[in-house]
A = this chain, B = another copy of it.
């Protein structure tokens, strides 16, 4: 049963377990430094579908099916699935999950969705509301470009601060019992908005939310950055990561640089893959956490990872209306089963 720790952290005493997780990605992601980590790489990013939106639906469904297989569970054994994506009305998720026949709680957290869905699944598993829950999310470079920016055929230029939406999906089965990495604590973030208006600089828009969430988490749990092997942000990219480290130092007096990592800086080789400031999209942290991170938590190579998913809560319409970009960040403390 969840216990409130400090003002914002929820401690989950039963330690819900990630009994299976899977990440599937596109060609470009497969060619990046984490290529060996993924469960499957689709070299044809249409996935054989007739639209980019349907391709993204196929991507998230594939991640879920593989996560279920790794947890040795059928969809009939899942009590609830928490999932969402970036497309208008979350159609990647709703059409992707349509045939699974699992109770569906739709989420919207933009690129924070993997952390939000893991936090929800963990609270449900810890409280007994679910024996097994799924957390999942997806993004697709082509469906995102089409919706948020320009048609691919237009060949629009991108400023250095822009990030590359990952073609990727991640899914994790969170269970009341079993073997695997644990979710020990979660924190639902508050919306932060420091007035950034540049939709080509999402990292800067999301950094204040990451800063608030990390500071809240450390304060509520009375811990310091070096108590974690890694404080892993979702997809701040190069610009946002630098800003986060500065904000943490100047506003909070906390140096997270020794343990900070960012999924947006891990998915691609920034030198070789022409992705400007790094990766973004729900599938960025979704695929990195559900592969590389979970594997190392399982072996014990990583013992305590504070995963802080970050989301920019704007739309093309709000940006056209001159609005700034609100951000949110949700935190999930992932720990190795084998920790002392």
Contacts and interface: CB of A to CB of B under 8 A. Distances in A.
Interface of A: 1-4, 8, 10, 50-51, 53-54, 79-80, 84, 86-91, 93-95, 97-98, 100-110, 116, 119-120, 123-124, 126-129, 131, 147, 187-191, 193, 313-318, 321, 323, 326, 328, 330
Contacts of A187: 103
A168 B321 CA distance: 22
Contacts of A129: 2, 4, 10, 123, 127
A328 B129 CA distance: 20
A236 to B, nearest CB: 19
B104 A106 contact: no
B108 A51 contact: no
A106 to B, nearest CB: 4
A147 B316 CA distance: 12
B89 A314 contact: yes
Given A10-B129, A89-B315, A98-B193, A107 B104 contact: no
Contact of A188 (B10, B105, B193): B105
B104 A188 contact: yes
A190 B103 CA distance: 4
Given A106-B109, A191-B94, A128 B321 contact: no
Given A95-B326, A188-B104, A326-B95, A128 B3 contact: yes
Nearest to A311: B106
A104 B2 contact: no
A145 to B, nearest CB: 14
A94 B91 CA distance: 19
Query: Taking the full assembly, how many copies of this chain does it contain?
Result: 2
4 closest residue pairs by CB, A with B? A127-B127, A94-B313, A89-B315, A103-B188
Contacts of A124: 123
Contacts of A2: 127-129
Given A1-B128, A124-B123, A104 B53 contact: no
A103 B213 CA distance: 10
A107 B110 contact: no
B95 A190 contact: no
A3 B124 CA distance: 11
B317 A53 contact: yes
Given A54-B321, A123-B129, A106 B108 contact: yes
A95 B120 CA distance: 22
Nearest to A89: B315
Contacts of A101: 190-191
Contacts of A123: 123-124, 127, 129
A105 B323 CA distance: 21
8 contacts: A90-B108, A90-B313, A94-B191, A100-B191, A101-B191, A102-B190, A104-B188, A107-B107
Contacts of A126: 127
A298 to B, nearest CB: 27
Nearest to A216: B103
A250 B97 CA distance: 27
Given A84-B106, A98-B326, 6 more contacts: A1-B128, A10-B129, A50-B321, A90-B313, A95-B326, A104-B188
